[in-house]
C-alpha cells in the first residue's frame, strides 16, 4: 500500500523538508528516536537510502511503484535521474498539488480518487495518470467539488506555480504547456543517488 498514514513530523525530522507530504513544520531539529542525538558521519549507502526515501514519502509511492518508474526512466533517452523526477512530477496527483489546488499530495490524491478532477473533460480517478503537454485539467461541475477546491486554494501552498503549468483561477481550469524543468522541482534532492541506490542492488 503506497499511502503512508504514520507520524509525518517524524519523517520530516529524519529526511528534511518534504513539501508534498505535509505542510507541518517540526520544532525539533534533531532526528527522531533515541539515536538521533548521536550524529555520526553517514555511510554512502545511508545517503543513497535517504534520498530514495525522500522520493517515496514526498510523492507517496511504494517500493514497487518507484522501481517501475525507474525502469521507465531508463528507457527514455537522456539523464535517467532527471527523467525520473519528470515522470513523478507529471503524475496527476502531483500536478494538482503544484497548481495549488490541494495543500499536499495526499490531499490531491484524495481529490482524484473521489472523482473531483477532469482531464480533457473526462473524469480521471487514477493518481498515477501521466499528464502530457496540451492536457486540460478542470474541476467536476458539482458544487461540492468546486467548494472543496476553493477552500483548498484559500490556504497557502507552494510559493510559485511552475512554468510548465498555467492556471485560470476564475474558471478553475489549468493547462499543461510542457514538461517540467529540473530547476522548478520543489523537492531538495540529489536524484543521482537514487539511481545509484538501485543500480547497486
pLDDT digits (tens, 9 = 90+) for 85-99: 999 999 999 999 999
The residue among 131 and 12 whose pLDDT is bigger is 131
Q: What is the pTM of this model?
A: 0.84
Segment 26-41, tens digit of pLDDT: 666 666 665 555 567 7
pLDDT at 74 over 80: yes
Spell out the domains of the chain, with CATH numbers in brackets: 8-87+186-199 (1.10.1050.10), 91-178 (3.10.290.10)
Answer yes or no: is pLDDT of 191 > 80.
yes
The CA distance from 196 to 74, in Å, is 12
- Of 59-68, 85-94, 145-154, give the lowest mean pLDDT range: 145-154
Residues 72 and 128 sit within 8 Å (Cβ to Cβ): no
Amino acid at each position: 500500500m503506497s499511502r503512508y498514514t504514520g507520524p509525518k513530523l517524524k519523517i520530516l525530522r529524519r529526511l528534511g523538508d518534504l513539501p508534498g507530504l505535509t505542510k507541518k513544520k517540526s520544532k525539533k531539529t534533531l532526528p527522531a528516536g533515541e539515536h538521533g542525538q548521536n550524529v555520526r558521519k553517514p555511510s554512502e549507502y545511508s545517503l543513497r537510502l535517504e534520498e530514495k526515501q525522500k522520493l517515496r514519502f514526498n510523492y507517496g509511492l511504494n517500493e514497487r511503484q518507484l522501481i517501475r518508474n525507474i525502469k521507465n526512466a531508463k528507457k527514455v533517452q537522456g539523464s535517467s535521474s532527471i527523467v525520473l523526477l519528470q515522470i513523478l512530477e507529471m503524475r496527476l496527483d502531483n500536478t494538482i498539488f503544484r497548481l495549488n489546488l490541494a495543500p499536499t499530495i495526499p490531499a490531491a490524491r484524495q481529490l482524484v480518487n473521489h472523482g473531483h478532477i477532469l482531464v480533457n473533460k473526462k473524469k480521471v480517478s487514477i493518481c498515477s495518470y501521466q499528464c502530457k503537454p496540451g492536457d486540460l485539467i478542470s474541476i467536476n461541475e458539482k458544487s461540492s467539488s468546486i467548494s472543496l477546491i476553493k477552500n483548498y486554494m484559500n490556504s497557502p501552498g507552494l510559493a510559485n506555480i511552475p512554468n510548465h503549468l498555467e492556471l485560470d483561477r476564475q474558471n478553475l481550469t489549468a493547462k499543461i504547456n510542457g514538461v517540467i524543468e529540473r530547476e522548478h522541482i520543489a523537492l531538495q534532492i540529489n536524484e543521482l543517488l537514487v539511481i545509484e541506490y538501485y543500480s547497486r542492488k
